[in-house]
Structure 1
Amino acid sequence: MADFTVSTEFLAKLAKDLKGCGDELDQGLKALKEASRSGLGYDFLDEACGHFQSKWEYGLKKVRECVKVLDDGLEKVQQSYDGTEQSITKVLTPAGQS
């Protein structure tokens, strides 16, 4: 039989950390949007900065989408493990004891 344990507390912390990661990405994207990408003195630099900002924004959007999917999945896994653990505890507890 496999010997492993699942820490639902760790899963909850991981989900919380992922939400925090998403929040930090949102803050970075907001700061990037607020940053001026023109006025560097050279047209090629202004264009390069604009291109970078567009690519960065797209990449951050994709990362946020992945974080959301992971967060949703972790929440379901945590609920399943918690439910299973409670059910097992209930079944293995002798009648009359709580």
Structure 2
Amino acid sequence: MADFTVSTEFLAKLAKDLKGCGDELDQGLKALKDASRSGLGYDFLDEACGHFQGTWEYGLKKVRECVKILDEGLEKVQQGYDSTEQDTTKALTPQGRS
């Protein structure tokens, strides 16, 4: 039989880290907006920045959708492992005799 362990603490940390991923991408997008997508001096550069900003926003939306799905899945996995561990502990704990 294979040696297999699951750290529910690690699953919780992974879910937290994934949530922070979208926030970091938001900060990058905000920095790009603060740099201004217009007025850089060259029309082609302004257009490129505008295109990049739109692409970044779309990509960020997709990342957030994936993070949400992963977060929900990780939460269910963590709950499942916690429940199984509790049930196993309960089943293996000797019960007092009446």
2:78 aligns with 78
Displacement, 1:24?
1.6
Corresponding position of 1:43: 43
TM-score (normalised: structure 2): 0.88
Shift in Å, 1:68? 1.1
What 5-or-longer segments of structure 2 have no aligned partner?
A: none
Q: How big is each residue's C-alpha offset from its partner over 1:22-53, in whole Å with a ceiling of 9 and x where there is no partner? A: 22223323333444101111111111111111
Question: How well do the aligned residues superpose, as a CA RMSD in angstroms?
Answer: 1.4
Within a 5 Å distance, the mapping from 1:1-98 to structure 2 comes to 1-96=1-96
Q: TM-score, normalised by structure 1?
A: 0.88
How far 1:9 sits from its partner (Å)?
0.8
Number of residue equivalences: 96
Unaligned runs of 5+ residues in structure 1 are none
Q: CA deviation at 1:19?
A: 1.2
**Identity value in percent:** 89
Answer whether contact 1:32 1:53 (CA < 8 A) is retained: yes
Task: Name the CA distance, whole Å, in 2 between partners of 1:68 and 1:29.
Answer: 19
Residues 22 and 60, structure 2, Cα contact 8 Å, conserved in 1: no
Distance, in Å, in 1 between the alignment partners of 2:72 and 2:26 is 18
Task: Work out whether residues 39 and 46 of structure 1, in 8 Å CA contact, stay in contact via their aligned partners in 2.
Answer: yes
Asked if the contact 1:38/1:46 (under 8 Å) is kept, the reply is yes
